[in-house]
Structure 1
Amino acid sequence: MYDAMPGKKTPPPRDRRSDALRNRQELIRAATAAFHRDGLQVPMSTIAADAGVGVGTLYRHFATREDLLAYLTHRSFEQVLANVRSAEVDGIEPIDSLRRFVDAAITQRNDLVLPLHGGPSITSAATSEVRRQVHDTLRRIIDRGIDAGVLRPDTTPKDVVILGSMLAQPRRADPDWDRTCHRLLEAYLRGIRQDRPAPNSLTGMPSIK
């Protein structure tokens, strides 16, 4: 924080904006870590201290704990939406798209504040809309796999989301645990895989058994 003292230059507006942006980024990082570590009722003063700023700075960016949690939740759902959109790439097999989507969640496990990770329930219509888009995109990926005969017809977006949330619970870095998570992911993907029916030799159409 800058003090208006004799002989001390006041930083120009651009520097103040840079400081404010840096403080906000540090608060987001510290708050995410604190909520994972200490739960949703962690003191706001602890978050400010972890971010290296005064508690007044925290309240200038987020007026209440609820505002902070709502922001982190919305931000996390936007990241999940970016992940699933990245996974929905033309030319990539649906199984590989689902693998890429869950892999991203595992990698970002400590950056996300989500209801299935112990975060708060969604209270914003905007956040609910982002969540809907995540499920709709997963539905397109899954339907493409079902239509191609490579995914079981009972595969659902909800199942994929729950699996991802289970494998991506926030925790300390642990390569052995990450390898376990990826083995479990591969086991799930094998379970929903369905071989395409062999074509009928006379009609060229898939055989119906």
Structure 2
Amino acid sequence: MHDSDEGARRPARPKRADARRNEKTLLDAAAAIFVRSGVEAPVRDIAAEAGVGTATIYRHFPTRSDLIIAVYRHQVEACAEAGPALLETSASPHDALRRWIDLFVDFLVTKHGLAAVLQADNAGFQTLHAYFLDRLVPVCTQLLEAAAEAGEIRSDLSAYELMRGVGNLCIGAENDPHYDARRLVGLLIAGLRRPR
């Protein structure tokens, strides 16, 4: 994937269903390892989590950057798809918001590692960041609006403000075992509740 610009101009053939499933398994495994151990985790750990050999990972993702960018996009899509699903299956809109924010926090751990990997390619990172905002701000907006309409939370907070606040609470958490960002994020989400 070193010639990503040329690859982007060529129309991609649709992947077979089993190839898409295999790639999803790899990306889920890599995301789980990145959340636990950071983006510098050994490829062998990712391979073990996915139940494949390391050669399979390198065949799909020749460089670590290729893998990290694919995980980033995969996690954005998973977060985007989770919002509406959580609204349908959660006990309340506030519960859906709380559960979605938990997924978002896991994603942010990977995103912070991605920023370090892509330092030399600022334009590439900016493109991914714009994609992240385009996909996730509308989902967070939908969750906030549903909870506000149900009378569960205050209605004067934008999705961008909430996502930025959560992001700020997560900065550096992966390097400090004495700092529990998830607990503070939980307090923030609880604090959105309207007094009964």
Q: Write out per-residue CA displacement over residues 110-154 of structure 1, whole angstroms, 9 at most, x where no aligned residue.
A: 9x5335764423727366335324213434554677799875464
Change (3 A) 1:150 1:55: closer
Q: Write out per-residue CA displacement over residues 13-55 of structure 1, whole angstroms, 9 at most, x where no aligned residue.
A: xxx984x566534422332232223221122233224433332
Contact 1:30/1:51 (8 A) holds in 2: yes
Aligned match of 1:123: 125
Deviation at 1:103, TM superposition (A): 1.5
In percent, how many aligned pairs have the same letter? 26
What TM-score do you get using the length of structure 2 for normalisation? 0.56
Give the partner amino acid of 1:160. Answer: L
Give the partner amino acid of 1:113. Answer: F
The reply on whether 1:42 has 2:44 as its aligned counterpart is no
Gaps of 5+ in 2: 1-15, 116-123, 175-179
Q: 2:160 aligns with which of 155, 158, 161?
A: 158
CA distance in 2, matches of 1:42, 1:188: 35
Aligned match of 1:92: none
Contact 1:23/1:51 (8 A) holds in 2: no
Q: Which moved more, 1:31-40 or 1:119-128?
A: 119-128
3-state DSSP of counterpart to 2:39: coil
Aligned ranges for residues 137-176 of structure 1 at < 5 Å? 137-139=139-141, 142=144, 152=154, 154-161=156-163, 162-163=165-166
Gaps of 5+ in 1: 1-15, 90-95, 171-176, 196-209
CA distance in 2, matches of 1:185, 1:67: 34
Aligned ranges for residues 1-209 of structure 1 at < 5 Å? 18=18, 23-86=22-85, 96-106=92-102, 108=103, 112-114=106-108, 118-121=112-115, 123=125, 125=127, 128-139=130-141, 142=144, 152=154, 154-161=156-163, 162-163=165-166, 184=187, 187-190=190-193, 193=194
Change (3 A) 1:119 1:85: farther
What TM-score do you get using the length of structure 1 for normalisation? 0.53
Aligned length: 161
